Amino acid sequence: MLFRNRRHAGVVLADLVRRSVSPDGQAVLVLGIPRGGVVVAAEVARAVGAELDVAVPRKLRAPHNPELAVGAVAEDGSVYVDERVASSLQVPADYLQQEASYQLEEIRRRLHAYRGDRPPPEVAGRTVVVVDDGIATGSTMIAAVRSVRRKGAARVVVAVPVAPPEAVRRLRAEGCEVVCVREDPLFVAVGQFYEDFTQVSDAEVQDLLREFWEARGQTGGA
């Protein structure tokens, strides 16, 4: 075990992020990937005095193996496919299209649950720190990073407590900075690095976002 829980992981990660991201307020936007990543992201946002919001990519599940990602779809509808995995499994194109449509519906549901009538944050010209509670293949994070970059972010930083070295290399190949507490070549699953990896609820995500929005005098929300 490395972290007691996601909040502890966020505190440890925040110390590293603070060294590379100046605490300059509105210029920095921290985006947590729901659900667990938002708990981690909240600690990072507190440490750098940044705005907190969500990025909601969803993995594309392999046929007959929903735990394996063959890619991911971002909230803007853009799709990233891991060609190595898709080719080795001979995943049909029509399956990927159907799976992307299904996951987009879940993305819309979550965005409505988390933001309600509140507009998405301004991304253009800002330093954007994308946070999750850990990375396995990196597919969902790649989809999130590409989406943020398309929206005009000036700088993209990926921040995670733990990831396998290969996933970190893939993200750096995307041209973004990566802050990772522990790159473990023996990585099997994110949960192995947490003493408490209890699933986070939508209500917990809503509460964290509301706390930050109210502190900044931002209206709207779920």
Tens of pLDDT, residues 9-66: 999 999 999 998 876 555 899 999 999 999 999 999 999 999 999 999 999 999 989 9
In a domain, 1, yes or no: no
The pTM (predicted TM-score) of the whole model is 0.93
> Looking at residue 108, which CATH number applies to its domain?
3.40.50.2020
Q: Are strands 28-32 and 127-131 parallel, antiparallel or unpaired?
A: parallel
Buried b (16+ CB within 10 A) or exposed e, 10-37: bbbbbebbeeebeeeeeebbbbbbbbbb
- What was the pLDDT predicted at 27? 87
Total tally of structural domains belonging to the chain: 1
pLDDT digits (tens, 9 = 90+) for 107-146: 999 999 999 989 999 999 999 999 999 999 999 999 999 9
| Residue 220 placed within a domain | no
Q: Which helix (H) or strand (E) holds 107?
A: helix 93-115
In a domain? residue 145? yes
With beta carbons less than 8 A apart as the criterion, state whether 220 and 53 touch.
no
Range of the domain at 10: 6-215
Read off the pLDDT of residues 151-164 as tens digits, 9 standing for 90 and up: 999 999 999 999 99
Q: Is residue 12 one of the residues assigned to a domain?
A: yes
Q: Give the integer Cα–Cα distance in Å for 109 and 99.
A: 16
Residue 221 lies in a domain: no
**Contact call for residues 104 and 74 (beta carbons, < 8 A):** no
pLDDT at 218 over 90: no
